[in-house]
């Protein structure tokens, strides 16, 4: 059985993109795989986080994952900072990865913006920590949204170079799992940028904590164009905002865009938006209610994270030990 690893940052409000692109797929995969789900708080601080906000968001994301259906008994749910092997392996990978490889990463360019000399070194080496997150468990399958594909390819490249340089087959090959109609949910305000926690406009996204009225209001305000819905998805190349709403509907309804358009082709956007708002509220409402229930007991959330971290350390420790031995570190006391 393949081992799955995936992570999510506690950097603010989780949104529909995180849910459709990642979390919902995680919930499905747990039936047939052993899974590790990680709240990646060390990735979060590559950009400034108020400590109190980070603390709250870590519990909130954990609650959201459980509310969405992640089972922390059968699988391992933990926060990254509590398993030191991630940072230990990341250092080794910093020495394996090449500067030229990291220079190609588009997420760094987007997040660092125009002032890249002022970005943290952590933001630059984010992908090597991500490679360590996965490979500390020798996980092979990584479910992510489309935006993380480049980082995963880099992780693969790092694993291959490590194996080659040290003449070993220690690390397995990685397989990205990118599936469903929601692999790249776009902003409700701009069909050319992805829905994101850090977008300054709250109207750009549907948060997993939004109530029905807020969801309805945001979808009603979502940017579209004056034309009715088409009857096939091909025309969406020139209509990104319209295409995004149809893709969101399809992902929520678990249908293809073609099936949605077979039903809605020719309709006007006001009616479609109303149906979309109802559907989004129907999917997110129960998750939201369960999340609020879980958040009322922070000690129980901490207990889940504590147990998860212990189990994760047990798995990662021997892998990092193997890596240290391979690299040639003297380990006094180790047999």
Shortest Å distance, C-beta 130 to ligand AQP? 9
Min separation Cβ 271 and ligand AQP, Å: 25
Using the rule CB under 6 A, is 57 a contact of ligand AQP? no
Q: From 79-87, 196-204, 269-277, 285-293, give the range in contact with ligand AQP by CB under 6 A.
A: 196-204
Stretch that binds ligand AQP, among 1-9, 132-140, 163-171, 320-328 (CB under 6 A): 1-9
Catalytic pick among 197, 218, 221, 273? 197
Min dist CB 144 to ligand AQP, Å, is 4
Beta strands 34-39 and 76-79 are parallel
State which residue, 111 or 161, has the beta carbon closest to ligand AQP. Answer: 111
Neighbours of 262 (CB within 10 A): 12
Binding to ligand AQP by residue 183, rule CB under 6 A?
A: yes
18 binds ligand AQP, rule: CB under 6 A: yes
Q: Is 148 in the site for ligand AQP (CB under 6 A)?
A: yes
Task: Please choose, from the candidates 294, 208, 284, the residue with its C-alpha nearest in 3D space to the C-alpha of residue 10.
Answer: 208
> Is residue 111 annotated as a catalytic residue, yes or no?
yes
CA distances from 137 to 227, 265, 314 (A): 50, 47, 10
CB 199 → ligand AQP: shortest distance, Å?
A: 7
Site stretch for ligand AQP (CB under 6 A), options 8-16, 157-165, 237-245, 306-314:
8-16
Which residues, 6+ apart, have CB-to-CB distance to 44 below 8 Å? Answer: 9, 10, 11, 54, 57
134 binds ligand AQP (CB under 6 A): no
Cα Rg for the chain, rounded, in angstroms? Answer: 21
For residues 284 and 251, the answer to whether their CB atoms sit within 8 Å is no
Tokens 């926690």 found at? 197
Binding part of the chain for ligand AQP, among 14-22, 67-75, 253-261, 325-333 by CB under 6 A, reads 14-22
> Does 136 interact with ligand AQP (rule: CB under 6 A)?
no
Helix or strand (DSSP H, E) at 183: none
CB 106 within 8 A of CB 333: no
Which residues are the active-site residues?
111, 194, 197
């Amino acid at each position: 059985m393949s081992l799955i690893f995936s992570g999510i940052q506690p950097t603010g409000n989780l949104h529909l993109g995180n849910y459709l692109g990642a979390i919902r797929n995680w919930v499905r995969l747990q039936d047939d795989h052993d899974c590790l789900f990680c709240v990646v708080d060390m990735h979060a601080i590559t950009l400034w986080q108020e400590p109190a906000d980070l603390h709250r968001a870590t519990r909130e994301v954990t609650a959201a994952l459980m509310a969405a259906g992640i089972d922390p008994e059968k699988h391992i749910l933990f926060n990254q900072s509590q398993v030191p092997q991630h940072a230990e392996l990341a250092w080794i990978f910093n020495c394996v990865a090449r500067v030229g490889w990291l220079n190609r990463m588009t997420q760094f360019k987007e997040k660092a913006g125009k002032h890249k000399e002022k970005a943290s070194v952590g933001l630059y080496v984010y992908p090597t920590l991500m490679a360590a997150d996965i490979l500390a468990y020798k996980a092979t399958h990584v479910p992510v949204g489309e935006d993380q594909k480049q980082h995963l390819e880099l992780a693969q490249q790092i694993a291959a170079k490590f194996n080659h340089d040290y003449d070993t087959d220690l690390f397995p090959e990685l397989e990205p799992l990118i599936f469903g109609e929601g692999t790249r949910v776009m902003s409700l305000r701009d069909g050319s940028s992805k829905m994101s926690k850090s977008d300054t406009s709250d109207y750009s996204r549907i948060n997993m904590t939004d109530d029905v009225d807020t969801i309805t209001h945001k979808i009603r305000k979502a940017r579209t164009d004056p034309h009715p819905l088409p009857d096939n998805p091909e025309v969406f190349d020139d209509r990104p905002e319209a295409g995004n709403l149809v893709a969101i509907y399809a992902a929520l309804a678990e249908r293809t865009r073609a099936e949605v358009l077979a039903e809605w082709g020719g309709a006007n956007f006001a009616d479609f938006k109303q149906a979309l708002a109802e559907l989004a509220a129907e999917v997110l409402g129960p998750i939201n209610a369960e999340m609020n229930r879980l958040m009322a007991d922070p000690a129980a959330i901490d207990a889940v994270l504590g147990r998860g971290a212990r189990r994760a350390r047990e798995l990662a420790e021997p892998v990092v030990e193997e890596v240290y031995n391979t690299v040639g570190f003297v380990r006094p006391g180790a047999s």
